[in-house]
Structure 1
Amino acid sequence: MNVVNVSPRRKELTRVAAQMFVQEGFDRTTVRMLAQEMGIKSGSLFHHFRDKQEILCAVIEEGTQNALAIARDALAQCAGTPEARLHAMARAHLETLLTDRNAHVVALYEWRRLDEASREHLIHLRDAYEALWQMVIADALEAGLIRGDKFLVSRFVLGALNWTVRWYDPAGSRSPEELAHELIGMITLPEPAHAR
């Protein structure tokens, strides 16, 4: 990896680009608009990125790497029970969405705009994140904490958590911790199925 790829300036440009892609949409955001928002000339943008597609790839890559790091850290620090792990993953997901909202909105809504090479570059990160969820959900299913198909449950949970970017107000009455607790409470059984 080229040193410029990890430079503070490139990171700042990636953050600004994420904000523009959320506000305007990827298709409507031009290189000229990005450069103006970043306070540089259009040509200078190409010292950091090859083209707009590479900027989109950088936004999604950074957001997904952050999500993966936060999730792994949350799992490492929580109690090892299936319920604690499920709650830790939900809280980590909300924390990621709320602290790095723009990158995640872009990843959710602009993934389809990636070209094939960018998708191939990023797919392992997305798969690694989803694999963490499927592992935690599989443990919860085995423990009788939840019921259903592992794939469908993971899609349902991630869908509900992702949708919070549309309506959740961090300054509102519920903290991310409380929201994670309530959302997980909605899908978990009151007691293990084998104990009923």
Structure 2
Amino acid sequence: THFKTVQDTIQGTKDKLNKIVADMKRERNPNASATETAVKTLIDNTLDKIIEGAKIASDAIGDASDPIGNVAAQNAGAVGTKVDELVSGIKTILDVVLGKEGNAEAGTDKKSDGLTARTAQAANGEAGKLFAANADTAENAKKSASDASKAVGAVTGADILKAMIENDGGAVKLAKGNDGNAGAAPKDAAVGRLL
């Protein structure tokens, strides 16, 4: 999986940095102590957390290659398994990368018409319906796609990522089920996270 690649790549970077410090010490480089401190801080505060998160996410995915709830095939919505573990791993990585950037509650709960609020159960023509096993008619599927487009355009990438890692938020609920039910009317960031 991609997360295993991230884990291996960051582990390789960590190992190379530790080797540089060891070589500097062996050669009695006067900057070895300061370099060691800087490398230790980087490893403890960033690299180890990314490695840990990537491992958790990779373990949650295993060798699966299909998207969660593959919406490309009709009636292919599937209940997400190990979603909590996957979210936990990704959250560990994104907490390092994003810091305080992004807002999981960004956007509105309004559909693409700008007037009507989305429902918790993803009514026909709502973006959440894209994640349900039965996406309804072709006309409603177009409305769902329009609503999804509105949701993604209304928020930033950081907002979407924050919604993705929000504990038990609408995005997680949509990923866990195959009925399009977010538990509450999802805001744009939660919908955008799944697209």
TM-score computed with the length of structure 2 as normaliser:
0.31
**Higher helix proportion:** 1
